[in-house]
Chains A and B, each alone.
Chain A
Amino acid sequence: MDFIAVFDNLNWDSFVQLTVNGLTLGSAYALIALGYSLVYGILKLLNFAHGDVFMVGAFIGWGVIGVLGGSANPIVPVWLAISFMIIAAALGCALLGVVIERFAYRPLRNAPRIAPLISALGVSFFLQNSVLLLFSADFKTYNTFDFSGGTLFLSGINWGPLHISLLRIIVIGSAFAMMGLLALLVYRTRLGKAMRATSFDREAAAMMGIDVDRVIVWTFFIGSALAGVAGVLVGLIFSQINHFMGFNYGLKGFTAAVVGGIGNVPGAMLGGLLIGLAESYSFGYISDVWQNLIVFSILVAFMLGRPSGILGRADIKKV
């Protein structure tokens, strides 16, 4: 990952730069983690296919920029082009998520616990290879640098030797905007209340007149839309995407969800940012090969030591 400017010596500037990089990456992880967390909270299902929904989002963004004439000369203003990409990816992935829920998970609502997990593996594999089939294994590029002659990279905040590009501001800004919207939705609307009730106790919620199936569909809709947005944002940051990217990001997103406390909305956001920072620092200060190992160690440490995560509450197991 050559995008991160690594400075030679450990100084304040490089630390701040790594922090900004980590927050950028972390905000994408947070968006993915939210999808895992929402679905896990309600269905107690680890949606393995979520990472691949994210990947499809990145491809939708790539498709939209192609339709709009490429990033060098889009037929609409740049800000509108990026908005189109994000909206199209969000809607496309939301639809995909709802379809996956309807056909892969709903028939297994009362099946043994291992069944939906295997179904999820199958969906993940199916999506990955379908994209491979349709678009080949080559890396696709957003050509992010071509957007209005590179202004996304060149302009931004300059503060001494420190440079925070406009692109990073856009990415972090849109991720936080999405998270803010989600928080409003979960804590301020009727649907959000129904979601929280369902996640607390599905059967009780059903008996209280909540249409649980509808809540589940909306959960997939929202979670997958967030993953789609994350896909476009990652495409914009790194410029390159391919069919296999969902696997790695999915794992990181899941780790973020666990670290923050799975099923917990603010926890997923916090976890995403933490994992992004951890990865960025280990890239900058330790090694560029073993960052996965470090993220993995964090995951295992949390699962064994504090499975409820930073913000989660410990469940008391009733026997």
Chain B
Amino acid sequence: MSEPNAPPLEGPGIGKDEWVARVEARTQSGLPGEIRRFLLALPPWARIALIAVPAACIPALTNNGYFLQVAIDTSLFVLLALGLNIAVGWAGLLDLGYIAFYGFGAYGYAMLASGHTGLHWQAEVAIPVVVVATALLGFLLGLPSWRLVGDYLAIVTLFFFQIFLTVVNNGQRIQLPFKKLEAGLTRGPNGISDVDPLNFFGWHLNSLREYLWLAVGAFVVVIGALYLVNESRTGRAWRALREDPLAAEVMSMPVNWLKLVAFAAGAGIAGLTGTIFAAEQGSVFPSNFDLALLITLYAMVILGGVGSIYGVVIGAVVINVSLEVLRTPAHASWLFFIGLVLVFPVILKSWRLRGLVVAGVIGFGFAVHGIVGALWSGGVDGSTTGEAWIDRLIDNWVLLPNDPTVIGRWAYVTLIAAVLGLTLLRGLWRAAAIVPVLYLAACVWENVLVLQPSVARYIMLGGMLVALMAARPQGLLGSPRVEIV
């Protein structure tokens, strides 16, 4: 099929799909290209150490519980993303039920070691049991993949996730046949809140620092194992399966078995992460395992580069840390302007143009602020919550109405339309149109998005997935892929 809107190509290589040629040109360029080359030059153990050592040193730098908590969460996200990458990135199976494995692991540990059931298993027994059980569940969910591929598999696994949520949410009505529990199997939406901390052979993990070390240790073990598997016959077979299941089968690879192993391995890693999560939080709730978590994980796996374990790690770290920064409005303002500075070179090609646009946006902002202030003082009377100089600056530059609710809605919808329209423009028109759009974005950011950080972060994740797929589907560190349809 011809693509009428495709930009002219500078000669794709022989036998190379034009779509790939187009994205390939972008991989090798810019900062991601530099990082990619740098990482590829390192030996594998050094790449792992590059991530693990700084993470393990965080407790030496700070005792701030918040930082440690973020570091632990990030490590858990990295583990989850690595597990998801097995099925999605390597074997090419779109698994939307992955969070259920994570939840199963967390609930599994909560059942085996809590006041809820009265069992208080040691971690060295409970963790292997939970991991094996989760892997078996993964095996089971892998079975439909024998008959279903692509979207059908995605929807069945998504339904499985829904079933998991239904079960844990209504678990207060379920009883085990052999043991009567006071509050049913899972206590429903109230969750299980008296989960034991991990206890290895009498060594109790009590502090955040210890959990961080445990999580980093688990990361090193998991990524090392994944690296070795990827370089083995099984790893090659998974990639072959992703490329062409029929050819893989005919070339002597037991495709169905490989699918099950991929599902089970990912599930096992999710189960392990779940146990650490449940013990560290000391509780599990159904709301810990929602659709938002699934999308976040997909965004992590895709941003870094599907199939590349280091890319996945970087994607998880970048996304979790950004989301964390977005929580506080004052930080969010910073992030927005830093983000703009980073995005700028991508949209505009020449330095002169970039300078002109920056000056244009600043000037445009003060002009609009002045005009609106003169005509309608209600339009500029609001103020940001922060006290730093940047907040004062924003107060005088961005339109901050007293009551941004209704205006904010219209501005938000207009902004989306404007950004979409911007992608259709080329050359100077785009540079000119960028000025008001950026200013509008700043207004919407300060008036709407900053006020609801928990929603804004998910909007940005959703938007990022769409934009990435269109602009750089191989992620930051992945290599572009060709598929003959």
Answer yes or no: A and B touching, Cβ < 8 Å: yes
Interface residues of A (CB under 8 A from B): 40, 45-46, 99, 103-104, 106-119, 121-130, 132-134, 202-203, 206, 212-213, 247, 251, 254, 258, 289-290, 292-293, 296, 299-300, 303-304, 307, 319
Q: Of A113, A124, A134, A292, which is within 8 A of B166 by CB?
A: A292
A117 with B166: in contact, given A122-B466, A133-B452 (CB under 8 Å)?
no
User: From B6, which residue of chain A is reached at the shortest CB distance?
Assistant: A110
Q: Of B159, B412, B465, B470, which is within 8 A of A296 by CB?
A: B159
1/0 contact trace for B126-170 toward A, CB 8 Å? 000000000000000000100110111011101110110010001
User: From B146, which residue of chain A is reached at the shortest CB distance?
Assistant: A304
- In the bound complex, what is the Cα–Cα distance between A111 and B483 (angstroms)? 7
28 A-B residue contacts at CB 8 Å? A46-B154, A103-B423, A107-B470, A110-B3, A110-B18, A110-B19, A114-B306, A115-B473, A117-B151, A118-B298, A118-B465, A119-B465, A119-B466, A122-B299, A122-B469, A125-B291, A125-B458, A125-B465, A126-B463, A126-B466, A129-B455, A130-B416, A133-B456, A251-B158, A258-B152, A293-B163, A300-B144, A303-B152
A303 with B147: in contact, given A110-B1, A118-B302, A292-B162 (CB under 8 Å)?
yes
B298-A303 in contact (CB<8A) = no
A129 with B469: in contact, given A110-B1, A122-B464, A304-B144 (CB under 8 Å)?
no
Residues 435 to 471 of chain B near chain A (Cβ within 8 Å): 448-449, 452, 455-456, 458-459, 461-466, 469-470
A129-B173 in contact (CB<8A) = no
Main SS at interface, chain B: helix
Interface centre among A130, A203, A247, A299 (most CB of B within 10 A): A130
Interface centre among A118, A206, A247 (most CB of B within 10 A): A118
The interface residues of chain B lying within 8 Å CB-to-CB of A247 are 291
A300-B465 in contact (CB<8A) = no
Does B258 reach chain A (CB closer than 8 Å)?
A: no
Chain B contributes a number of interface residues (CB within 8 A of A) equal to: 62
User: From B147, which residue of chain A is reached at the shortest CB distance?
Assistant: A304
Interface centre among B150, B465, B466, B485 (most CB of A within 10 A): B466
Main SS at interface, chain A: helix
A103-B163 in contact (CB<8A) = no
A121 with B159: in contact, given A113-B150, A132-B455 (CB under 8 Å)?
no
A117-B155 in contact (CB<8A) = no
The interface residues of chain A lying within 8 Å CB-to-CB of B158 are 251
A251 with B162: in contact, given A118-B469, A126-B462, A303-B147 (CB under 8 Å)?
yes
Please give me the 4 A-B residue pairs with the lowest Cβ-Cβ distance, nearest first. A122-B465, A126-B462, A46-B151, A125-B462
Does B47 reach chain A (CB closer than 8 Å)?
A: no
The interface residues of chain B lying within 8 Å CB-to-CB of A134 are 408-409, 412-413
- In the bound complex, what is the Cα–Cα distance between A108 and B147 (angstroms)? 26
A124-B462 in contact (CB<8A) = yes
- In the bound complex, what is the Cα–Cα distance between A114 and B151 (angstroms)? 9
Q: Of B94, B148, B246, B449, which is within 8 A of A117 by CB?
A: B94
* Interchain Cβ contacts within 8 Å, total number: 152
The interface residues of chain B lying within 8 Å CB-to-CB of A40 are 151
- How many Å from the CB of B168 to the closest CB on chain A? 12
A133-B473 in contact (CB<8A) = no
Given contacts A103-B466, A113-B483, A303-B156, 17 further A-B contacts (CB under 8 A): A107-B470, A112-B481, A118-B298, A121-B298, A122-B465, A122-B469, A124-B462, A125-B292, A125-B465, A126-B462, A134-B408, A134-B412, A213-B4, A251-B159, A254-B155, A293-B163, A307-B152
Does B17 reach chain A (CB closer than 8 Å)?
A: yes
Does B428 reach chain A (CB closer than 8 Å)?
A: no
- How many Å from the CB of A75 to the closest CB on chain B? 20
Interface centre among A99, A111, A119 (most CB of B within 10 A): A111
- In the bound complex, what is the Cα–Cα distance between A291 and B187 (angstroms)? 20
The interface residues of chain B lying within 8 Å CB-to-CB of A300 are 144, 156, 159
- How many Å from the CB of A268 to the closest CB on chain B? 15
A129 with B462: in contact, given A109-B1, A289-B173, A303-B152 (CB under 8 Å)?
yes
Interface centre among A107, A119, A202, A213 (most CB of B within 10 A): A107
The interface residues of chain B lying within 8 Å CB-to-CB of A212 are 1
A303 with B464: in contact, given A108-B469, A109-B3, A118-B469 (CB under 8 Å)?
no
- In the bound complex, what is the Cα–Cα distance between A128 and B473 (angstroms)? 23
The interface residues of chain A lying within 8 Å CB-to-CB of B485 are 110, 113
B458-A296 in contact (CB<8A) = no
Interface centre among A110, A128, A299 (most CB of B within 10 A): A110
The interface residues of chain B lying within 8 Å CB-to-CB of A107 are 469-470
User: From B471, which residue of chain A is reached at the shortest CB distance?
Assistant: A107
- How many Å from the CB of A56 to the closest CB on chain B? 11
Does B295 reach chain A (CB closer than 8 Å)?
A: yes
The interface residues of chain A lying within 8 Å CB-to-CB of B148 are 303-304, 307
Interface centre among A40, A114, A247, A307 (most CB of B within 10 A): A114
The interface residues of chain A lying within 8 Å CB-to-CB of B19 are 110-111
- How many Å from the CB of A284 to the closest CB on chain B? 18
- In the bound complex, what is the Cα–Cα distance between A99 and B299 (angstroms)? 22
- How many Å from the CB of A290 to the closest CB on chain B? 7
User: From A99, which residue of chain B is reached at the shortest CB distance?
Assistant: B420
The interface residues of chain A lying within 8 Å CB-to-CB of B156 are 299-300, 303
Does B92 reach chain A (CB closer than 8 Å)?
A: yes
- In the bound complex, what is the Cα–Cα distance between A45 and B94 (angstroms)? 14
The interface residues of chain A lying within 8 Å CB-to-CB of B246 are 319
The interface residues of chain A lying within 8 Å CB-to-CB of B299 are 122
User: From A114, which residue of chain B is reached at the shortest CB distance?
Assistant: B94
A122 with B462: in contact, given A109-B1, A116-B469 (CB under 8 Å)?
yes
Residues 397 to 447 of chain B near chain A (Cβ within 8 Å): 408-409, 412-413, 416, 420, 423
- In the bound complex, what is the Cα–Cα distance between A299 and B158 (angstroms)? 12
Q: Of B295, B448, B473, which is within 8 A of A112 by CB?
A: B473
1/0 contact trace for B291-319 toward A, CB 8 Å? 11001001100100010000000000000
